[in-house]
Chain A
Amino acid sequence: NAGVTQTPKFQVLKTGQSMTLQCAQDMNHEYMSWYRQDPGMGLRLIHYSVGAGITDQGEVPNGYNVSRSTTEDFPLRLLSAAPSQTSVYFCASSYRGQLSGYTFGSGTRLTVV
């Protein structure tokens, strides 16, 4: 089924550990984004990409790195996990421009202890 696939669905990290959240889409979407959602809050943009090789920072980029080597994949790296990064992470993708809606993945629930 076409869509946005995120792995893993759940993860527990110790403070200081690093890890990569995976995101893949098979719809040939140019735009991809990472958001985090804290309890009772709306989504906040971490990083986004408008195409392979192009990334930019969103509202809350500190502590995260991204790269976009292919159209399909947009991994999010946590460099040194902190308890403040405990959150649900959503990846999303869209065709270029404002005429398309974003398709979201089902999320990764991350706990940092």
Chain B
Amino acid sequence: DAKTTQPNSMESNEEEPVHLPCNHSTISGTDYIHWYRQLPSQGPEYVIHGLTSNVNNRMASLAIAEDRKSSTLILHRATLRDAAVYYCILRDVKELTFGKGTLLTVNP
């Protein structure tokens, strides 16, 4: 299975943009890039996914490198409620394989 590499932790200030990086150098042509987040004491929550083109939704934006070997999840204005562990996952057709993710701390 293709693997992803993310920083263990990142910090941001409230109302500032946050760029969460993810490296996936062994990605295959059919792997979709998915992002989930897990708030404290909750189950993971789907954030966004993409294949080749950049994607936007109400929660975030996903920027995918042209060679697809890396991607960046963008939170445009971080709030205290965005403090969570963020997982970058290359979705196999049937299942998700979670790494340890990035712990995002948002400072007031």
A residues whose Cβ falls under 8 Å from a Cβ of B: 31, 33, 35, 41-45, 48, 50, 56, 58-59, 90, 92, 97-99, 101-107
Query: Is A45 in contact with B95, judged by CB distance below 8 angstroms?
Result: yes
Query: Is B44 in contact with A43, judged by CB distance below 8 angstroms?
Result: yes
User: In the complex, which range does the number of interface residues on chain B fall in?
Assistant: 20 to 34
B-side interface mostly: loop
Per-residue contact bits, chain B 39-58, to A (CB 8 Å; 1 contact, 0 not) = 00011111101000000000
Count A/B pairs, Cβ under 8 Å: 56
Q: Can you list 30 contacts pairing A with B, beta carbon distance less than 8 Å?
A: A33-B96, A35-B98, A41-B100, A42-B99, A42-B100, A42-B101, A43-B44, A43-B96, A44-B98, A45-B95, A45-B97, A48-B94, A50-B94, A90-B43, A90-B44, A92-B43, A92-B96, A97-B93, A98-B30, A98-B31, A98-B32, A98-B49, A98-B91, A99-B32, A101-B46, A102-B36, A102-B44, A103-B46, A106-B42, A106-B43
